[in-house]
Amino acid sequence: MLARSAYEYTLIRAVPRVERDEFINVGVVLFCRERRFLASRLIFEPTRLAALAPNLDLETLHTQLEHIPIICAGGRAAGPIGELPAHERFRWLSAPRSAVIQPSEVHVGLCDDPGVALERLATSITP
């Protein structure tokens, strides 16, 4: 049995009005170098987002969010970023930015199974 592995994760936030710094968590990206694991789980809740920002283009936001799992998977479908190693893709996804879709600071943890840890984190950010 493998020992517990360290992982890093970032929450993905929808920040409709960057100047107000109000956000709703819409996903999580988890990276575990030891287990060669990089994956995301999106939680897209249009009703909550519309309540925060009635004029937000939900279709465009959803389309942009759908790129995150593709980047996590890597390969040609993810474009040039998809050709980078997993740790560099995670750094790209977790880099601070001033946009409608923003990552939180990077957090760390220990797990036996990064897939289980990802689902636990995703469950914890849903109301």
Q: Please say if the pLDDT value at position 2 is more than 80.
A: no
Residue ranges of E strands in 1-127: 5-14, 24-32, 37-42, 101-103, 107-111
pLDDT at 21: 87
Cα-only R_g, the chain: 15
CA dihedral of 71, 74, 80, 83, whole degrees rounded to 10: 150
Q: Which two tokens stand for residue 81?
A: 């970023």
Domain that holds residue 38: 5-124
Is residue 31 within 8 A of residue 9, CB to CB? The reply is yes
pLDDT at 47: 94
User: How does pLDDT run across 73-123, given as a tens digit for each residue?
Assistant: 999 999 999 999 999 999 999 999 989 999 999 999 999 999 999 999 999
User: How does pLDDT run across 28-80, given as a tens digit for each residue?
Assistant: 999 999 999 999 999 999 999 999 999 999 999 999 999 999 999 999 999 99
Measured distance CA(108)–CA(70) in Å, rounded: 23
Angle at 24 between CA 127 and CA 60, to 5 degrees: 120
Q: How many domains does the chain have?
A: 1
Q: Please say if the pLDDT value at position 1 is more than 80.
A: no
Q: Please say if the pLDDT value at position 18 is more than 90.
A: no
Tell whether pTM > 0.75.
Answer: yes
Residue type at position 41: R
